[in-house]
Every structure is written in C-alpha cells, then in structure tokens.
C-alpha cells in the first residue's frame, strides 16, 4: 500500500461472497484510499470510494454457521457489486469499522438546515454549507456556525425531498434532542452513496449504544440523578433536588461513572452518550 496504513489486523474473512463459500484466515489492511484483504490463496482490494454500504453486527443469516458478529462491506470493483465479510468480535474490528465510516464520510460537503423544526413548529432557518465529520458516536458539521448531533439524542431519521433554489433534493431528516428541546435537522449530501452510508452509521451507532444500555441496571435514584443533571442541576444542587445528603449524591455520581453513564470533565460531571440515551428513555417517568 502506497499511503500510510491506518488499520492492519488478522481475522477470519470472506473477501468476496460471490467467489468464496467459507471464510479463511486473512489479513486486513486499510489506508486512506483502499482496503486490501489478503488470504493464503488470494489478494482482494477495493477503493474506499467504491464502498456503498457498511454494516457492523450480526452476520447475514446464511453465514451464521461461520460467524457471530461481522463487518459486512458492500463495494464496487471492476464494475461489479461485491460483498466482503470480516469477523468482528473484538475492539480492533470495531475500530476498523469506524475508520471505514470516517474514510467514506469525513470532509464531505453538505448543506444543513438547523433547526428545520423545533418540536412541531417549522422554522425559517436557511440551508447553509458545512463539512461533515464523524466523531463516533457523534456527527459534526464544521462551518461558521458548527453543529454536533450525538447519536444518543436521535429519536428518528428518514429520507425526505426538499426544494433548494430551483432543485428538489433528497435530504436526511434527523429528529434529536438539543439542550432539552426536540429539534429536527435536515442534511443534504450530493452523493446518494454517502447519504446511504450516513444513515447506516446512525443505525449502527444507535444499535451499539442500545446494546450497551441493556447491560446496565439502574435504580430509581440513579435515574433521578441523571435526569437532574440533564435538566441543568449542578452536583451541589442535586442533594436538595433528590432529598438526600451530599455524601449520598457523591456515592450516586461515582456509581454512575463506574457504569459508564457519567464522565468527569473540567466543568463537572457530564452525561456520556449511553447516559444521554438512558435519560431519553426515562425522562417522562421522572418528576423532580
């Protein structure tokens, strides 16, 4: 590979499901331009700009006798659509998936309308130009007025058609929470391929966060503490809000840090992405 390698690992692979019926042990390499899969019998390469779909999770049904979790990569090579499978049961392959998402989407020119809606109200915001970047589990839009959407705050997204100037374009409409309000942001990408991959990224990240949250048990008191922080309470005011003493608040916050729901920052405790998702699930159940 001519460019700097950003991923290099070995695992079980099927470089092309049209050519191979069973997986073999292989080496996967990636730079900024292409992915190369090397097995004992063959060497398969494809450009990153040829990848049109990407999924991380359960293997396709017909391959589950070989794999549990996989990265499924749909790509075009020599004018043909092909599919590669890479076994994905560890952090290395998860990082590879994120690198591939970034390789496809980072620095993509987009048009963004934010907020297109606040609650059910349509705003008069205009579309503006931005550059899209991924920072899993968040999508960032760099412009004079930057925007970040954390996947944990997303409740729905869909394709819509919108008129920009004289042209009608396909947009991705994303409903998410922003500073306690439900907002809708509309994102336009000139490439249908990249629009599809962005939608896949949102699904993949949300599914992973949900799976992590399912492994966490929460008491009513812990939920109330997180909702309080989400609503703007400080560590100092939580004791009065929850009706407990300061030592109990310290214990609750430390427990939530250990569970991965809170993170310590320079300004105090903040909800992690999983914590934000948990609050979204329980917000209506708590009265503070």
Instruction: Domains for the chain: give ranges and CATH numbers.
Output: 7-104 (2.30.29.30), 108-214 (2.30.29.30), 220-285 (1.10.10.10)
Higher pLDDT, 28 or 165: 28
Contact present, 83 and 39 (Cβ < 8 Å): no
Whole-Å CA distances, 12 to 35, 139, 150: 15, 30, 32
Per-residue pLDDT at 1: 65
Q: What is the pLDDT of residues 219-252, one digit of tens each?
A: 999 999 998 998 888 888 999 999 999 999 999 9
Whole-Å CA distances, 178 to 150, 200, 273: 9, 22, 13
Contact present, 37 and 45 (Cβ < 8 Å): yes
Per-residue pLDDT at 65: 84
Q: How far is CA 164 from the centre of its chain?
A: 27
Query: How does residue 281 score in pLDDT terms, banded at 50, 70 and 90?
Result: confident
Q: What is the pLDDT of residues 61-101, one digit of tens each?
A: 777 788 878 899 999 988 899 999 999 767 888 899 999 99
143-163 in b/e form (b: 16+ CB < 10 A) is eeeebebbbbbbeebeeeebe
pTM of the prediction? 0.86
Q: What is the pLDDT of residues 150-159, one digit of tens each?
A: 999 998 999 9
Higher pLDDT, 48 or 230: 48
Sequence-ordered list of residues with C-beta below 8 angstroms from that of 99, at least 6 positions apart, any chain: 6, 7, 30
Q: What is the mean pLDDT of residues 173-190?
A: 90
Average pLDDT, the chain: 90
């Amino acid at each position: 590979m001519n460019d700097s390698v950003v991923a290099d690992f070995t695992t079980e692979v099927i470089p092309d499901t049209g050519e191979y019926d069973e997986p073999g042990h292989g080496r996967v390499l990636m730079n900024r331009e292409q992915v190369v899969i090397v097995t004992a019998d063959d060497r398969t390469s494809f450009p990153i700009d040829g990848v049109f779909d990407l999924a991380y999770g359960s293997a396709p049904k017909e391959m589950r006798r070989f794999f549990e979790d996989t990265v499924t990569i749909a790509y075009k090579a020599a004018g043909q659509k092909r599919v590669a499978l890479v076994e994905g049961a560890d952090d290395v392959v998860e990082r590879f998936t994120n690198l591939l998402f970034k390789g496809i989407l980072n620095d993509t020119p987009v048009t963004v309308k934010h907020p297109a809606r606040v609650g059910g109200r349509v705003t008069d915001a205009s579309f503006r130009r931005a550059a899209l970047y991924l920072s899993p589990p968040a999508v960032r839009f760099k412009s004079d007025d930057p925007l970040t959407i954390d996947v944990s705050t997303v409740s729905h997204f869909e394709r819509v058609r919108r008129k920009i100037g004289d042209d009608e374009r396909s947009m991705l409409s994303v409903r998410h929470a922003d500073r306690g309000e439900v907002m809708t942001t509309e994102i336009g990408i000139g490439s249908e391929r990249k629009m599809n991959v962005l939608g896949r990224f949102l699904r993949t990240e949300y599914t992973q966060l949900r799976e992590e949250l399912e492994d966490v048990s929460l008491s009513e008191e812990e939920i109330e503490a997180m909702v309080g922080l989400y609503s703007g309470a400080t560590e100092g005011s939580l004791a009065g809000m929850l009706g407990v003493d300061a030592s109990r608040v310290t214990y609750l916050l430390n427990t939530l840090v250990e569970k991965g729901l809170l993170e310590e920052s320079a300004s105090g405790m903040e909800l992690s992405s999983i914590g934000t998702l948990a609050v979204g699930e329980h917000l209506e159940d708590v009265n503070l």
